[in-house]
Amino acid sequence: RARCVFSSFPLARSPFSSSCSFQAHFTAPSSERRKLMSSTLSKELSAVLGIKSLPILKGDKVRVMRGGKVYKGTEGTVESVYRKKWAVHLDSAKREKKNGQTVNIPFAASNLAIVSLGELHADRKALIEKKRASKGLTGTWEEADVVTA
């Protein structure tokens, strides 16, 4: 990745300064945004898997933890993960415009908790196993306990 543009100014700044961190975050490519757009797991799911968070994917069932009075506490399935706008769209969170058109309400991934996983493909299983191994967890977990029916 390109280095911080702020570090080329006459007053030399550390590449770890807040402005460089800000720039790195908002110019991150989609591959990095995938990891940055992670959500915490619900208490039940976290107890089964032994990990705290995972990158959010289309098809996951989530609960809104932060937000307006209307949406806080509601559950829904992820319709899309819009990495370019840092937004997650749910099937249960839509509103109608004046002209009758329905639009999705965007949520930040950090404001959601994953209740159950959608599709559990090989890459996601590998990521879960890698995170479990880094915590020193051994043993198995049942796919049926974590996947949406």
> Is residue 39 over pLDDT 80?
yes
Dihedral sign, CA of 69, 99, 77, 125? Answer: negative
Whole-number Å distance between alpha carbons of 57 and 81: 7
Of 109 and 4, the one with more pLDDT? 109
Say what the pLDDT of residue 98 is.
97
Separation of alpha carbons 27 and 2, rounded Å: 10
Average of per-residue pLDDT across 70-85: 94
Q: What is the mean pLDDT of residues 16-39?
A: 87
Mean predicted confidence (pLDDT) in 26-55: 94
pLDDT of residue 134: 93
